[in-house]
Structure 1
Amino acid sequence: MNAPVVPGCVSRSGLNWLLHRAAQKLGSVAQEAAGRHGITTRGQLVLTALASEECRRTQLALGQALGLDKTTLTAELDRLERAELIVRKPDPTDRRVRVPAITERGRAVQAEVEKLHVEVESAFTAGLEPADVHTLRALLQRLIVSDSGSDSGSCI
């Protein structure tokens, strides 16, 4: 059963509120899907980045690519390593630097959660026409890569 609608919230039309509310609704279901495999949505983002890497990345470079600060990324990598989904090895050129790598178990979990996330997104956008979903994605990508606004903070 849905929670009662608060009249003051129904009329919100600011872009920040709309984007936040849509992300909140989608994010809670995506988190539930990831949680079924013992990881967080952020963990899934890290695993996906590591699974798709053609070249190795240091922790610092990975954090920058994902928009995660050092503390947040380190905590997430610690969780993933304890779950044996990643390993961190010293960089052969600089032993002070750690290079995270996804394990086979990590690849399996990442693939399963990715399937669930695709299902979640499909259900979330089911009321939209496929062309509208495509347009929504394209517009959001344009906003993300635009030069306006700061690019600081976590991606999730």
Structure 2
Amino acid sequence: MEPPATCAKVAACVEKFDLNWLLHRAAQKLGSAFQDEALKHGVSMRGQLVLQALSSDEFQRTQLALGAALGLDKTTLTSELDKLERDGLVVRQPDPRDRRVRTPVITDQGRALTAKIALALAEVEAGFRSDLSEAEFGQLRELLSRLLNGDPVPGSCL
């Protein structure tokens, strides 16, 4: 992709059209739209990520293991779980084998909200990629997956 003609004379502008800048800006734009949509439903995008993970059987685990799986440090996850628990979306249950260990569990209210937000985020994503044909979007996903070499990237999804 070539920079716009109006940008060609300014070196700093041309440099912003490298792959890192383009990927970062695209992710930033979509992330911001996702955050705005999640907030309309009363949770942050990070909160939605936690709820989504907890709604999966794969993530029925301790707070520590959940944080590691999502790439969230202990303080960040605890703060997010505090908010979700206050809103009745999760409960933290003590582990019967170790009183020091807490297992976050999504409530029915949390599951319902997660499903509602997931539908809303799918609409946001569809709008974001509306300038791409289905074939182009499929190609973009394939190319990005190839760049990642199928390896999960450590760190937060946000």
Deviates more, 1:50-59 or 1:7-16: 7-16
Matched, 1:52 2:78: no
Distance 1:61 1:112 in 2: 26
Matched, 1:102 2:106: yes
Task: State the shift of 1:15 in Å.
Answer: 2.4
Matched, 1:138 2:138: no
Q: Quote the residue 2:3 is aligned against.
A: none
Higher relative contact order (CA 8 A, sep 6+): 1
Inter-CA distance 109–131: structure 2 relative to 1 (3 Å threshold): same
Q: Quote the residue 1:3 is aligned against.
A: none
1:99 is paired with a residue whose SS is: strand
Task: State the shift of 1:121 in Å.
Answer: 0.4
Distance 1:142 1:56 in 2: 30
Matched, 1:127 2:124: no
Inter-CA distance 52–69: structure 2 relative to 1 (3 Å threshold): same
Q: TM-score, normalised by structure 1?
A: 0.84
Deviates more, 1:119-128 or 1:91-100: 91-100
Query: Within 5 Å, which residues of 2 pair with 1:1-156?
Result: 7=7, 8-9=12-13, 12-54=16-58, 56-144=60-148, 151=154, 153-156=155-158
Inter-CA distance 67–53: structure 2 relative to 1 (3 Å threshold): same
Query: Which of 1 and 2 has greater Rg?
Result: 2
Percent identity among equivalent residues? 58
Distance 2:14 2:130 in 1: 21
Partner deviation per Cα, 1:98-128 (whole Å, 9 max, x = no partner): 1001011101111111011000000001111
List alignment gaps of at least 5 residues for structure 1: 1-5
Task: State the shift of 1:75 in Å.
Answer: 1.0
Distance 2:43 2:139 in 1: 30
How many residues are paired up? 149
Distance 1:21 1:9 in 2: 14
1:95 is paired with a residue whose SS is: strand
Distance 2:91 2:133 in 1: 42
**What RMSD over aligned residues (CA atoms) do the two structures have, in Å?**
2.2
List alignment gaps of at least 5 residues for structure 2: 1-5
Q: TM-score, normalised by structure 2?
A: 0.83
Distance 1:62 1:133 in 2: 31
Task: State the shift of 1:11 in Å.
Answer: 5.2
